[in-house]
């Protein structure tokens, strides 16, 4: 406060002697500005020049000095402050009540900052305000009263805050209001019917709240309305027919709003409409043909509903149409051929329907088409030859249809193309050369078609290609020798494609992490240059005719996890180097001609299933329980030597037998005596304890000793719980620290095994000694040399097969990890009475996803599930959790694959930018001063 008081004192002193302006008005304005600077946090010093002391020391200052300060604009004649713009300056703190002294303020912009708490009601005393922008902040609680005092207000933008409670009805009294944005908060209850009485309102934005109930038909009385966005709420009922009265409406978005019923034919009366977005609702019945009356319509999105029937031919007459999205419905029939003549069409999405017939054969002839996705339908016929006229197509997605014929050669010149997905069709002929030369191509899936002939060599020259799948075809040709040279290729799959010849040398191979060549007719040996594939995770060469030995170079790949070489003709031994390979999770060499011992000294091979080595008569040792020849020979030699020595030993045998019997008897007597005394002392001694060997390993500075811990282990009233490995005690140390102590059970063999488990727990606590989600208490015991005889682990996290097999492996922990994901997503514990008797969270989740709207009941609203953008990401996590908790262990992914899925999972969502702001984004949707910027929906990624 001292700098603030000094500034005020300096200013008033100077003001009395130097300034000729009106003291009353201007002194209050400077008081307001300095109070504002004093109450906000300005980490980047944007307001460094708000300092009257330093300004007055300049010889060429202009009066009044604050008119030159950052964010301030003054009236040219009166010098009163008319504009205060503090937007996007990373400011926080609070707005002081002294802001009311800026009585001449016309425009106030506080957007794009971190202001929080209650909105300062003193702002509503600025009676001259015309625009007020508080968007992209963290103002919370209910909206304060008093807004109606701003009787000249024309623009109010509160987008992306944390307001709660009902929408303020007081706005209705603002008769000059033209733009109202209350989106991106947590307003609840219904839209007030009075919101249909604004006489001049042009923009109404209420999207991304928690509004419910029916949409009031009174909104149809907003005669001047040009833009209406009220989606991403939880309304009920149908679309009001009265909305068709909005003759000036240009933009209508009521997406993801839980609406039902049929689409109103009256929508065809909105002849000024340019954008109609009603996706992700529950609309049924047919698309009204009256939509063909919307002659200026540019974007139509009715996707993700339950629409039936055929696509109206009248839509093909909308010459201004640039974006058409009807995907994820139940549409049938043929696609109107008129769509091929639309001169401005850029996006055409019809995927996940039941459409049949041909694609419009002129599609793309306008030269503007960028995205085409008609996947998962029953379309047939050829691909339109004009698909990339104009070289603008970015994504061409046709998979899961019945397309036939050759690929157009012109497609290989489509330099804009990034993703080509035409798998699961009937395309035939050879793959035309040239795809590898496309500069932007990253993803190609041509699998499960009828392609034949040579595989183009230019794939090996591709610059950006990351994914290439040509599986399930009939090439009857070898792989190109340069296939591994594609510098960014990460996944290559060519399984079951009738590929012949040798595997090309692994020259290049620098980025690839997955190679799938199973089910072909490859021969020759596995190239030893596979060591070049330093990022390789998976190698599948099974079901070929490969010969030669297994290259030891595979074992030194730093990240290799899955190797499948089964059903070949490989010979020789399994290289002993695999003993040192710590990354392997699956290794299958079954049904080959391998011989010799199976590696057994490492940590991987003893835990593999015996079926991974079956069909190799010459393999021995390890988990096959089949001794190797060298071991058998050694045993035979020992037997011969014993027979030779037998006569010499006979003479003293009786003597040794008598001595042994005496020794055994003496041992039993001594041991029995000690056992008796031990039991007696345990029962009758009040201060007895189990003694040693004790070792205290400290991972941080401690104020107690091992003896202090031992004193707490005899008090039964301090027991916190018991598990399969021991009892947990609450222990209070002499210094006052409260710790938990686990006392392990009994037998020496068990003690060693469980101590190993405890040490494994220690091995996973990070550099800060914080626990990591890596060990769920089961798989740490798999190094044991005996089968488990008890159930270890917490109920609710245990994999189902563990209960009846008592066998544990890494897939058991994958199951437990999936349970943890479900807990995070749902906000519930793994076991809860809500789930029903004997049910865990896994049972509950699987039951819920089978019911209508069950997913909404799973996802925790407190974690942002009410926000459409966040919900899509949570759904991605839920899919991973369901995969991890598959009933069949073999269906569960490896942990490495789980990590990859988590890293690579980009939410396949139709992300309305207007909801990004309140989910963490900035400068989106109504941010900034002046006009309210209202977003449009990007398209779904496929």
As annotated, the active-site residues are 763
- Counting Cα atoms < 13 Å in the Cβ hemisphere of 22 gives 9
DSSP 845-874: HHHHTTSTTHHHHHS-GGGTTTSHHHHHHH
Burial string for 389-408 (b: 16+ CB within 10 Å, else e) reads beebbbbbbbbbbebeeebb
- At 269, give phi and psi (nearest 5°): -80, -10
Cβ neighbours of residue 600 closer than 8 Å, sequence gap 6 or more:
579, 606, 621, 622, 623
Q: Please state whether the peptide bond connecting residue 64 to the residue before it is cis, i.e. omega within 30 degrees of 0.
A: yes
For β-strands 738-744 and 726-732, DSSP reports them as antiparallel
Cβ neighbours of residue 25 closer than 8 Å, sequence gap 6 or more:
80, 103, 104
**CA–CA dist 890, 681 (Å, integer):** 52
**CA–CA dist 895, 821 (Å, integer):** 13
**CA–CA dist 111, 933 (Å, integer):** 12
**CA–CA dist 468, 490 (Å, integer):** 8
Distances (CA, A) of 728 to 692, 715, 747, 792: 18, 11, 18, 15
Q: List residues bridging with 117 in a β-sheet.
A: 139
Q: In this structure, what is the dihedral angle of CA atoms 11, 12, 17, 18, given to the nearest 10 degrees?
A: 40
For β-strands 514-516 and 402-405, DSSP reports them as unpaired
Environment class of residue 772 by beta-carbon count within 10 Å: exposed (0-12), middle (13-18) or buried (19+)?
exposed
- At 443, give phi and psi (nearest 5°): -140, 120
**CA–CA dist 82, 89 (Å, integer):** 20
Q: Which element (helix H / strand E) includes 856?
A: helix 854-858
First to last CA, the chain: 57
**Count of helices and strands (H, E) across the chain:** 13, 47
CB of 798 closer than 8 Å to CB of 811: no
**CA–CA dist 873, 855 (Å, integer):** 13
- List the structure tokens of 63: 């009066």
Can you tell me whether residue 770 is helix, strand or coil? coil
- List the structure tokens of 22: 């009106």
Can you tell me whether residue 181 is helix, strand or coil? strand
Nearest Cα residue to 312 out of 283, 342, 291: 291
CA angle 483, 484, 489 (to 5 degrees): 105
Environment class of residue 862 by beta-carbon count within 10 Å: exposed (0-12), middle (13-18) or buried (19+)?
exposed
Dihedral of CA 49/54/56/60: which sign?
Answer: negative
**CA–CA dist 248, 250 (Å, integer):** 6
């Amino acid at each position: 406060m001292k700098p603030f008081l000094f500034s005020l004192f300096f200013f008033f002193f100077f003001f009395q002697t130097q300034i000729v302006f009106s003291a009353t008005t201007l002194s209050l304005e400077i008081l307001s500005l300095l109070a504002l600077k004093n109450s906000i946090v300005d980490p980047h010093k944007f307001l460094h020049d708000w300092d009257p002391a330093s300004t007055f020391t300049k010889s060429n200052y202009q009066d009044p000095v604050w008119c030159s300060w950052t964010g301030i604009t003054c009236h040219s004649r009166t010098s009163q402050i008319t504009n205060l713009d503090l937007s996007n300056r990373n400011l926080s703190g609070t707005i002081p009540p002294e802001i009311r002294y800026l009585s001449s303020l016309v425009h106030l912009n506080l957007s794009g900052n971190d202001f929080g708490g209650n909105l300062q009601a003193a702002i509503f005393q600025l009676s001259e305000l015309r625009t007020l922008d508080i968007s992209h902040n963290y103002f919370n609680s209910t909206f304060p009263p008093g807004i109606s005092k701003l009787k000249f207000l024309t623009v109010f933008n509160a987008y992306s805050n944390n307001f709660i409670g009902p929408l303020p009805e007081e706005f209705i009294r603002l008769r000059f209001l033209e733009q109202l944005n209350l989106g991106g908060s947590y307003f609840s209850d219904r839209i007030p019917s009075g919101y249909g009485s604004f006489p001049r309102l042009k923009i109404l934005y209420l999207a991304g709240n928690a509004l419910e109930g029916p949409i009031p038909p009174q909104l149809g009385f907003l005669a001047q309305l040009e833009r209406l966005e009220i989606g991403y709420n939880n309304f009920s009922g149908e679309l009001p027919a009265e909305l068709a009265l909005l003759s000036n409406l240009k933009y209508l978005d009521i997406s993801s709003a839980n609406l039902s019923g049929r689409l109103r034919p009256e929508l065809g009366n909105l002849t000024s409409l340019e954008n109609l977005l009603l996706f992700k609702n529950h609309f049924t019945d047919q698309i009204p043909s009256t939509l063909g009356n919307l002659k200026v319509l540019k974007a139509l999105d009715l996707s993700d509903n339950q629409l039936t029937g055929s696509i109206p031919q009248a839509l093909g007459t909308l010459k201004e149409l640039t974006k058409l999205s009807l995907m994820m419905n139940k549409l049938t029939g043929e696609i109107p051929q008129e769509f091929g003549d639309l001169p401005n069409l850029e996006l055409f999405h019809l995927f996940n329907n039941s459409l049949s017939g041909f694609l419009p054969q002129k599609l793309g002839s306008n030269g503007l088409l960028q995205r085409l996705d008609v996947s998962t339908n029953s379309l047939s016929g050829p691909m339109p030859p004009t698909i990339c006229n104009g070289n603008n197509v970015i994504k061409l997605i046709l998979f899961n249809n019945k397309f036939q014929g050759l690929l157009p050669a012109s497609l290989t010149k489509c330099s804009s193309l990034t993703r080509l997905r035409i798998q699961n069709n009937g395309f035939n002929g050879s793959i035309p050369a040239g795809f590898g030369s496309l500069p932007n191509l990253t993803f190609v899936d041509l699998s499960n078609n009828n392609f034949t002939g040579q595989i183009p060599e230019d794939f090996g020259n591709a610059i950006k290609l990351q994914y290439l799948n040509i599986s399930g075809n009939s090439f009857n040709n070898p792989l190109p020798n340069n296939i591994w040279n594609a510098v960014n290729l990460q996944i290559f799959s060519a399984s079951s494609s009738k590929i012949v010849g040798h595997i090309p040398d692994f020259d290049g191979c620098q980025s690839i992490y997955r190679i799938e060549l199973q089910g072909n007719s490859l021969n020759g040996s596995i190239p030893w240059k596979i060591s070049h594939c330093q990022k390789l995770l998976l190698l599948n060469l099974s079901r070929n005719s490969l010969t030669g030995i297994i290259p030891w170079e595979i074992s030194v790949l730093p990240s290799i996890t899955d190797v499948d070489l089964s059903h070949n003709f490989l010979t020789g031994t399994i290289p002993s180097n695999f003993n040192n390979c710590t990354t392997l999770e699956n290794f299958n060499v079954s049904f080959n001609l391998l011989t010799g011992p199976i590696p057994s000294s490492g940590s991987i091979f003893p835990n593999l299933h015996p079926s991974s080595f079956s069909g190799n008569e010459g393999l021995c040792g390890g988990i096959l329980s089949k001794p190797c020849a060298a071991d058998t020979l050694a045993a035979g030699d020992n037997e011969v030597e014993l027979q030779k020595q037998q006569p010499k030993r006979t003479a003293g045998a009786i003597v040794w037998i008598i001595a042994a019997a005496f020794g055994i008897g003496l041992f039993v007597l001594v041991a029995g005596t000690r056992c008796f005394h031990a039991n007696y002392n345990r029962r009758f001694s009040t201060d007895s304890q189990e003694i040693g060997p004790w070792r205290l390993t400290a991972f941080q500075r401690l104020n107690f000793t091992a003896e202090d811990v031992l004193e707490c282990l005899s008090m039964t009233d301090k027991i916190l719980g018991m598990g399969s490995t021991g009892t947990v005690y609450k222990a209070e140390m002499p210094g006052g620290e409260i710790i938990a102590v686990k006392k392990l059970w009994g037998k020496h063999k068990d003690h060693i095994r469980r101590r190993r488990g405890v040490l494994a727990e220690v091995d996973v606590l990070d550099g800060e000694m914080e626990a990591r989600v890596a060990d769920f208490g089961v798989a740490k015991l798999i190094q044991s040399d005996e089968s488990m005889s008890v159930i270890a682990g917490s109920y609710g996290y245990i994999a189902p097969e563990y209960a009846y097999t008592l066998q544990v492996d890494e897939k058991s922990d994958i199951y437990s990890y999936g349970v943890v994901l479900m807990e995070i997503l749902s906000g519930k514990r793994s076991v809860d009475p809500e789930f029903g008797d004997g049910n865990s969270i896994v049972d509950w989740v699987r039951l819920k996803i089978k019911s209508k709207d069950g997913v909404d009941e799973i996802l925790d609203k407190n974690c942002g599930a009410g926000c459409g953008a966040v919900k899509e990401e949570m759904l991605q996590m839920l899919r991973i959790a369901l995969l991890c908790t598959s009933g069949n262990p073999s269906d569960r992914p490896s942990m490495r694959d789980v990590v990859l899925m988590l890293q690579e999972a980009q939410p396949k969502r139709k992300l309305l930018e207007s909801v990004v702001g309140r989910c963490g984004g900035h400068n989106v949707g109504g941010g900034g001063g002046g006009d309210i910027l209202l977003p449009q929906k990007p398209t779904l990624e496929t």
